[in-house]
Amino acid sequence: MSDPKEIPSVAHVEGSGIPVHGNDIDTDQIIPARFMKVVTFDGLGEFAFFDQRFDDEDNEKEHPFNEEQYQDANVLVVNANFGCGSSREHAPQALVRWGIDAIIGESFAEIFAGNCLALGVPTATADSETIETLQSWIEDNPDGDIEIDVAAETVTYDGRTIDVDVDEAQRKALVDGIWDTTALMNSNTESIERTAAALPYVENPKVQTGRSDD
């Protein structure tokens, strides 16, 4: 059995793609606010892009997330300023629970990219022509394989390899397996307590780290 505190490295993601066209797709489009009244994030996936996928009478509209050929896709390919709007972490949570493991786009809202990193989801960027070419290829080859090498900052598909950019801090955190800060703290509790004990303004370091002798 693996150590529950172990954080996996995310140096490579492989799978099929799903293209979502449009600039400035905000977090309310990704997950409408009315679906955020939940105790946990479990089940948010079914509501991803809900208002873009269904009309007021719950009839399906044209949207890649409704199309059968993309139901097993795990690499989302988007355009510019994806994830703008509010800082809600529910947006990447919904995408992850839909089945998305990585996102490639022209650009991402900074907070959205940070929330993706907290879930171990790479956000790689490339110029608009490169992204549009990849989106078109996916539409013609919905079962086609896409390989993202996070460490090398490349994407390979259809026998070609393109360069992408992964934020340096994000790349290091994913490749080194240090992207889950909560797990890192849990796995280094003793070290945190020793540091806290040396601080004159921390009276009970065990309480400060969520542990107690009671």
Q: Write out pLDDT tens, residues 15-45.
A: 999 999 999 999 999 999 888 777 678 889 9
In this prediction, residue 5 carries a pLDDT of 56
In this prediction, residue 201 carries a pLDDT of 66
Residue ranges of the domains in the chain?
A: 12-177, 180-214
Q: What is the CATH number of domain 12-177?
A: 3.20.19.10
Scan for tokens 């994806």, then name that residue.
82
pLDDT: which is higher, 43 or 170: 170
What mean pLDDT comes out for the span 153-173? 97
User: Considering only CA atoms, which of 153, 154, 155, 122 is closest in space to residue 137?
Assistant: 155
In this prediction, residue 132 carries a pLDDT of 98
Q: Place 210 in a pLDDT band, splitting at 50, 70 and 90.
A: very low
Cβ(28)–Cβ(195) below 8 Å: no
Mean pLDDT of the chain: 87
H or E element that contains 116? helix 110-117
Q: Place 194 in a pLDDT band, splitting at 50, 70 and 90.
A: low
Handedness of CA 107, 110, 115, 120 (dihedral sign): positive
In this prediction, residue 214 carries a pLDDT of 44
| Number of Cβ within a 10 Å radius of residue 214 | 5
